[in-house]
Amino acid sequence: MTKKAATPIAVRFDRHEIFKIKPQTAFTAIDLGLPSGRQWAAQNVGALAMYHCGLLMEFETANAIKFFDGWHLPTKEDFQELYDKCTSEWKTINGTPGRMFTSKINGHQIFLPAAGWSWFDDDEHGTALYGRGTFGNYWSSSYNSATGAYYLLFRSSTVNPQYSLNRRLGFSVRAVQ
């Protein structure tokens, strides 16, 4: 008898509903020809297409996702390599603004939507969405301090591959393999 693997889960934007991520079919690998051999998922966690924003989640939630087939969160070094080995330009695809990263090595591309960020506040203040269409924020798996972690930050005019802020913020997640 074959044992079926458990389906990994991630928390939706409102932190109260559960979104199930389908294993095996969740990601298409994009080979950017990077020296590390790292491949990037074609879309964000929770997105159905490269131009969909997907889920926003706190750092701890992002790091708790049980990915299959060797997928995991990128490290801050993975973001630095993406920044160093790719060009990037601000683009809008199917009405979604974001950054297109194009490999300087093989010309392959990944699009990261500017999904904005959320602040997961207490029950009194609720949860809010900020910067959709203006800012892209993507969690790495790398801690910076007791309350901070590294992430990729971008907007139309700039890219910072190793920015750091509070781990309670809700950012996008793009898996690597």
pLDDT of the residue at 163: 95
The CA distance from 114 to 81, in Å, is 20
> What is the pTM for the complete model shown?
0.85
Residue 18 predicted with pLDDT over 50: no
Asked whether 44 and 113 are in contact (CB, 8 A), the reply is yes
Residue 37 CB partners (closer than 8 Å, separation 6+): none
Closest CA to 127 of 12, 11, 14, 19: 14
42 vs 11, higher pLDDT:
42
When pLDDT is averaged across residues 104-130 and rounded to a whole number, the result is: 83
pLDDT at res. 126: 52
What pLDDT is recorded for position 67? Answer: 83
Surface-to-core class of residue 28, CB atoms within 10 Å of its CB (0-12 exposed, 13-18 middle, 19+ buried): exposed
The angle subtended at Cα 77 by Cα 45 and Cα 46, nearest 5°, is: 0
53-88 pLDDT per residue, tens: 988 888 988 888 878 888 999 999 999 999 999 999
